[in-house]
Homo-oligomer: A and B are copies of this chain.
């Protein structure tokens, strides 16, 4: 991993490199994705089954596209019982954290007879995309389904691509069943997103689609945005560690590697005020990499998106962290809580040397579906907020309206909207 002194140019180049990874930039795929969506919208199930044959190699039809209770039961026999216990413990933590995100409706009154408020209503249905194949992550199933459940969504529809044998990863099925997914369909890729957005004979249309996926899934979600809601457009994983000379280089190195192993586009960045720490972390990373199972991916991602930056002060390190807006941010300094107060942009902030990033991935409770690729500047972690929506409530008495009528009429007329003005005036016309 390269060690660089912080300069404006170095940071600008780095930022530029990182942003190039955005799914938004893969414009070459957009037409292909749109064609898949149009096809599913038009031909429904027929298109789904054809594509599942072509892309996943599985023969599916209306009778077996939906996962049955028997398949779920079978999955339980294939997953280690002690892992199921761990999943349940993690679920409790995730549920407890997300229950604190619940929002409540409110209203306020004035004595002349006005009621103004905000009603909070759960979405009626939501779709959850879960990647399949090699990378089956039961933890992602929990992180997608539990907030929807806590919000009170009535129907949670999961989709995930099947293997060639037409089966779904058993860990995924167990996690889905534990978390409370209501229906599970064996379909993946852009075609699954299209099915959830528009509905087919087999797959129901939903109000919102959440969950990460590959480039086809990301672009399909963007394409159907507006027809349905989506959580965000997920990009590659990222970690940024702010550390001073008090940090343990072995811990820092291990944490950087935990993100680098995700995929070749993942990014791992250390910003430190200590050249000594930088050198030690560099060495530890080399040593660890040799013995880790995902060595090839790690070497590639570190080469392209791994950086060790030497900052002249913690404030400068904070500035860089805010500019990069990393998905995961660790703060390992003498006074990490004070540093945290200066962080504007980060998906999740891990404080102190024991708060290793994977703790958040699996267990602590906060969601691990986080804004990537600089989008922590404006997006939030997946949360209960994603599964509710609000309606304004307005009640005025005749007395209250009488007191305001002239102002409203004047405003409406100033905008040349005479029917607006009329709707107020008519209530006070001479009978």
Contact = CB atoms under 8 A, between A and B. Distances in A.
A101 B107 CA distance: 11
Contacts of A412: 358, 361-362
A116 to B, nearest CB: 6
Contacts of A97: 116
B254 A422 contact: yes
B258 A419 contact: yes
A367 B348 contact: no
Q: Report how many copies the assembly holds.
A: 2
A415 B356 contact: no
B123 A378 contact: yes
B354 A396 contact: yes
A312 interface: no
Contacts of A356: 401, 423-424, 427
A254 B171 contact: no
A355 B393 CA distance: 10
Given A89-B407, A356-B424, A351 B115 contact: yes
A424 B359 contact: yes
A306 to B, nearest CB: 13
Contacts of A401: 354-356, 359
Contacts of A359: 394, 396, 401, 404, 408, 424
Nearest to A407: B86
A207 B106 contact: no
Give the most central of A89, A115, A352, A359: most B CB within 10 Å: A359
B391 A381 contact: yes
A33 B251 CA distance: 48
A334 interface: no
B261 A419 contact: yes
Interface in A375-413: 375-381, 383, 385, 389-398, 400-401, 404, 407-408, 410-412
Contacts of A355: 394-396, 401
Interface stretch (A70-78, A179-187, A188-196, A219-227): A219-227
Given A83-B410, A294-B418, A207 B394 contact: no
A47 interface: no
Nearest to A401: B354
Contacts of A80: 414
A6 interface: no
Given A347-B392, A393-B340, A394-B355, A233 B222 contact: no
A307 interface: no
A171 B390 contact: no
A417 interface: yes
A173 B137 CA distance: 52
A424 B375 CA distance: 28
A255 B257 CA distance: 61
B354 A376 contact: no
B381 A390 contact: yes
Given A229-B375, A354-B397, A379-B389, 15 more contacts: A116-B366, A124-B377, A138-B411, A207-B377, A222-B225, A261-B420, A262-B417, A298-B419, A349-B391, A352-B395, A354-B396, A356-B401, A356-B427, A363-B404, A363-B411
List of 3 A-B pairs having minimum Cβ-Cβ separation, nearest first: A366-B392, A229-B378, A261-B419
Interface of A: 22-24, 80, 82-83, 86-87, 89-90, 97, 100-101, 106, 108, 114-116, 118-119, 121, 123-124, 136-139, 171, 207-208, 222, 225-229, 232-233, 250-251, 254-255, 257-258, 260-262, 288, 292-294, 298, 337, 340, 343-367, 370-371, 375-381, 383, 385, 389-398, 400-401, 404, 407-408, 410-412, 414-424, 426-427
24 contacts: A22-B226, A86-B411, A87-B411, A123-B378, A208-B378, A222-B222, A226-B375, A229-B378, A250-B426, A258-B420, A261-B420, A293-B416, A345-B391, A349-B393, A354-B397, A355-B395, A355-B396, A355-B401, A359-B396, A361-B420, A366-B393, A367-B392, A379-B389, A380-B390
